[in-house]
Every structure is written in structure tokens, then in C-alpha cells.
Amino acid sequence: MEEQLKTGTTTVGIVCKDGVILAADKRATAGTMIVDKRAEKVHLISDDVAVTIAGTVSDAQLLIKLIRAELKLKEVRTSKRPTMKESANLLGGLLYSSIRRMSMIPGIAHFLMGGKDYLGTHLYDLFPDGSVTKVRDFISSGSGSVFAYGVLESHYTPEITLEEGIPLVVKAVNTALQRDSASGNGIDVVTITNKEIKLALHKEVNVQL
């Protein structure tokens, strides 16, 4: 099934002076075949948390459903919203459990998690092995990340604002679109501030050779 196919991807997350930005392309592939030109790779998990996905679609979709339920359950049990550290560790635990199951093929999914809590905005890298790393500048994942990193290394500064950061992540993803055949067809950009998470840019690109 299409949902079980692995995807080629470029996702980017950067920490700005006034928030966090997440971005991703819109192409899903299976080998050399493009199976979806409008794939959603930036997902809102709650009012406080958003993630980008890279890896196997079915695993990512299931883990998104699970983390949504876990965060809601934790909020109900504690009568308060989970912090970003708690949210990241919950998803990290789910990833670790998935990769350690020996009775079935382990899931492969890589998440970038951005969000807000009473301490401010935060960005985390959640690797398929369950490791959780707090990101203090920028991060990229997926098959096009090597190209995106070249742009980020050259142009990112710790003082960058959200307004300045949006063109930067667009340039980083677009660079990957030009060189990575598994990335393409558009870009979604989400911004996260202390007040809200919103879609800042949605653009579809149809390239005809």
C-alpha cells in the first residue's frame, strides 16, 4: 500500500530570536516513483506542538496518532498542558519502543518537533532510534538535508528573526528541491511563537521537464 512506502524528504527547523520555524517539501516517493505530489509533512499535534516527518509514511502516521492521544491523555490526567520537554520525551519513547520491537520490522520515522510552553519556544530533533536532542540553532532531515545544510550553515545567525527566517528555510528547502529527486512539488512553512502556531507559507510547485 502507498502508506507503507518510504519517502524521500527535505525538512528544516530553525530557532529564531522570536520563535521557531518548521518547513518541509511536499513530495512522497517510492524508489524512483513519485507517489504523492501533495504530501503533508508538517503536522499540528496540539495547540502547542507541531512536527515534521521523514521516513516511512505508515510509521509516521501511526506515531502522530499515538502522540496526539498521549499528549491529550497527559493533559487530562495532570490538568495542565505538557511542557515541550515532556512532549519530546513522550514521542522519543514511542520511537524507541517502535525500533526495539523484535517481533516485527522496526519502524523508521524521523521527527523535528517545534512548540511552545511557559518557558518559551523550543525545537527538538527526534531520531528513529528514540534519541531526543534539543536544537539550539538549526536542523534538517531527509534525503535532501545535505543540500539544505549548505544553505543553513552559510546564512543562519543566532539573531535571525521569524521574518528573516522564512525566506531562509524556503531557500534551504528549494535548494534541496533543485538537487534531490526525492524532494519536490512545493513547500509548507509553519511558524511558532509564544502566542500561536500558524501556517506561514503553502506553495505548490509543478515542474515539467
What positions carry a catalytic annotation?
Answer: 9
Length of the chain: 209
Q: Which residues pair with 156 in a beta bridge?
A: none
The span from the CA of 199 to the CA of 60, in Å, is 20
The span from the CA of 10 to the CA of 147, in Å, is 9
Angle at which helices 84-100 and 57-78 cross, to 10°: 130
3-class SS string, 97-131: HHHHCCCCCCCCEEEEEEEEECCEEEEEEECCCCC
Contacts of 126 (CB under 8 A, 6+ apart): 88, 91, 92, 95, 110, 111, 112, 113, 132, 133
Contacts of 31 (CB under 8 A, 6+ apart): none
| Helix/strand number for the chain, H first, E second | 4, 12
